[in-house]
Structure 1
């Protein structure tokens, strides 16, 4: 079954509201093997919603519309569906009871415009909404299924879980499938090199393999469609083995794993202690590392300051080194200085210039090295990129 999702609401297009319903719905559809090829967001405009529905019915078996079931003039989803299918809107007694129930339950007076919420396109069935005034709708018309749900996340998710998914499972019947995914996380390799190494694996259809570029990282999503979770997971495992045979040196984790977690894991594996000097990132790397359970056993000290006088005195570095803008020598001296000061196994330092967009990463381990990176974006974005690049460099060195 192919699905298309339409979310209505000008506030979504303006970015005033984060559409959490989208992710929840995507995961729900995947859990029953429904293929979602298109997701559209439309403002509160009748003609544009009608157009979106007409486009969706031309390429999908299941059309789900979220939002636009309220009592106000800009709630237009039912009107648009009726117009797109050339159907009349008629008052539904079951829908009316749902609307009235809410006001009776809370002792509130119902406005006349709430009666609009009891109108349904001809042939539609009601989906109960225990948490609000807007009934949902299921309409089967010309071999297409249309489902309308209210926008508030609490109502949307509850109705999807309790009513819509059971209906779809029953409707799909013996053809019910599941879609499962696993994300492999890589660093130290770019998309072009990854594409070259994976070759034909990227053209596999089931399971499919799709790369996504991140900051100093690449995510590989393996997705399989099968009749049950066990079969899908086995298909993913088989593909993962093929990928690891080609790229294992670059894979630092899966799914929710982070680079910080991967670094702590490598420190634990090698029984090493790390000390940091963060001139450029102001303690952000330390923040990421200390969020990982067990970090206390492997982190000695983090100094986050740009006070050159204090750093020079504490780490026994020549003060002139800070004035010469020789970041390569400075990064190396800071890394060696913090290692010696704390007697840690690894000294790490990051310095640079926001104005020039340059960062220098110094490491003192079995030997010393400095890595130079060109950054871009706002100060916050550069800090985040620098931290990610630093953790990637640490992980690769330890690996």
Structure 2
């Protein structure tokens, strides 16, 4: 099954909102083994939408629409598809009742145009909207399946997960299972990772290997097809092992894992606590850690030591060190890590100092970073990095590097 996703809405073309719906649907369809070859965005114009649909009909046998199902005149997806498919639009009684109940419950007056949201293609499978008003729908005409979903992600995503995905699974070959697994890597660029496993990617057939980069990380989605679930997982295991043999030192987790989530998890398992002194990252490291449920068991506290005055008066970095070595230095990072650990009574002290930009600092170039790690068992280690990219990217990657260092040391029983 080859799919095209058509997002309808002038606000997308104007750059007022991002097309996150296509991103979500592409990931979902990939898990089902459905190829997505085209994303199309069309404004609120019936003629242009009709032309886009006619193009999609020549190259896809699954066309998914998002948006244009609302009550206003510029919501025209259903009307356009009904005209193209020569189908009537009829009121779905359950949807109408749900819309009327919403207005009654909220004490608002229901205008006549809201009934438009209850219109569906005659003969289609209707998807209930449990997070909004306009229902979704799907139907197959000839060799092409059409699926219409609402535009707001908070409505579209749960609707597709509960109704759209099962509908498509019924259309697929039920004798073949599809199993997916995401491998997560940090500390290696997408181009380097692809170079390391280039021959595996070129030879891929089953499982397939799909690289994706973002936020300083790289992921590989492995997708296997087989009549047996056990055999499909064996195929994934074999491919994963071949990949990790080459780049396993950069691997940190699977699927929805994050560096921060895994750091909290491993700290719990090892019964270790952490405290952070954050200059460069300005509290970002602890913000991300404490967003993880259960972080209170492992996070002792920290200090945002953005100025030299705080470094000196709160974390007791000598003025002489700040004057000679500078705040952006190995020696400063070492003292910050040791002193924040002592101050907070933690097992592990970690510090972040460096130059995020846009300008150099203390004669150090943008991207110069020092991360200190202090424990009672080992001598304090300082990791020097030379990062590139915009300010926010450097700060985010620095915080992630902190997690990566802790994870590796905990896994090696060095902390």
TM-score range, shorter chain: 0.7 to 0.9
Aligned length: 390
Structure 1 residues 348, 7: CA separation in 2 closer, same or farther (over 3 Å shift)? same
Tell me the distance in 2 between the aligned counterparts of 1:72 and 1:61: 29
TM value normalised by structure 1: 0.78
Structure 2 residue runs of 5 or longer lacking an equivalent are 361-365
Q: Which residue in 1 is equivalent to 2:123? A: 125
CA deviation after TM superposition for structure 1 residue 58, in Å: 1.3
Name the counterpart of 1:385: 397
Aligned 8 A contact 2:117 2:135 in 1? no
Q: 1:264 and 1:135 mapped to 2: Cα distance?
A: 40
In the alignment, the residues of structure 2 paired with residue 343 and residue 192 of structure 1 have an alpha-carbon distance, to the nearest angstrom, of: 42
Equivalent positions of 1:1-399 (< 5 A) are: 1-17=1-17, 21-22=21-22, 25-26=25-26, 29-30=29-30, 32-81=32-81, 85=84, 88=86, 90=88, 92=89, 94-95=90-91, 111=112, 125-128=123-126, 138-151=138-151, 156=156, 160=160, 164-165=164-165, 167-172=167-172, 174-175=173-174, 177-203=176-202, 204-227=204-227, 229-264=229-264, 267=267, 273-292=273-292, 295=295, 299-313=299-313, 315-324=315-324, 326=326, 327-328=328-329, 329-339=331-341, 346-353=348-355, 354=357, 355-356=359-360, 357=366, 358-364=368-374, 365-378=378-391, 380-398=392-410, 399=412
TM-score (structure 2 length as normaliser):
0.76
How far apart, in 1, do the equivalents of 2:239 and 2:70 lie?
46
Moved more, 71-80 or 4-13: 71-80
The 8 Å contact of residues 337 and 351 in structure 2, kept in 1 or not, is answered as: yes
**Alpha carbons of structure 1 residues 138 and 289: separation in structure 2 relative to 1, 3 Å:** closer
Moved more, 2-11 or 148-157: 148-157
CA contact (8 A) 2:275 2:302 kept: yes
The answer to whether the Cα contact below 8 Å between 2:185 and 2:251 also exists between their aligned partners in 1 is: yes
Take 1:185 and 1:281, find their aligned partners in 2: how far apart are those partners? 23
Distance change >3 Å, CA 177–CA 352, structure 1 → 2: same
Any conservation in 2 of the 1:129–1:155 contact (CA below 8 Å)? no
Per the TM alignment, residue 34 of structure 1 is displaced from its structure 2 partner at its CA by 3.2
3-state DSSP class of the match of 1:388?
helix
Q: Is the 8 A contact 1:169 1:176 kept in 2?
A: no
Shift of 1:371: 0.7
Distance 1:188 1:285 in 2: 17
2-structure distance, mates of 1:57, 1:89:
17
Alpha carbons of structure 1 residues 298 and 56: separation in structure 2 relative to 1, 3 Å: same
CA apart distance, 1:35: 3.0
> How far apart, in 2, do the equivalents of 1:382 and 1:141 lie?
51
- Are the counterparts in 2 of residues 98 and 129 from structure 1 also a CA contact under 8 Å? no
TM-superposed deviation, 1:383:
2.8
3-state SS, counterpart of residue 91 of structure 2: helix
How far is 1:337 from its partner? 4.0
Counterpart CA distance in 2 for 1:99 and 1:396 is 53
Contact 2:353 2:371 (8 Å CA) reproduced: yes
2:363 matched to which residue of 1? none
1:129-166 Cα deviation digits (max 9, x unpaired): 65587565555444222233444567656765676555
The 3 A distance-change label for structure 1 pair 271 and 58 is: same
Q: What is the Cα deviation at residue 319 of structure 1?
A: 0.7
Structure 1 pair 127–17 and aligned structure 2 pair: CA distance change class (3 A): farther
- Aligned pair in 2 of structure 1 residues 54, 313: CA closer, same or farther (>3 Å)? same
Could you say which structure has the larger radius of gyration? 1
Per-residue CA deviations over 1:180-220 (Å, capped at 9, x if unaligned) read 32221122333343233324222312211222233443222
Cα drift, residue 112 of structure 1 = 7.1
Instruction: Please tell me whether the aligned partners of residues 260 and 391 of structure 1 are also in contact (alpha carbons under 8 angstroms).
Output: yes
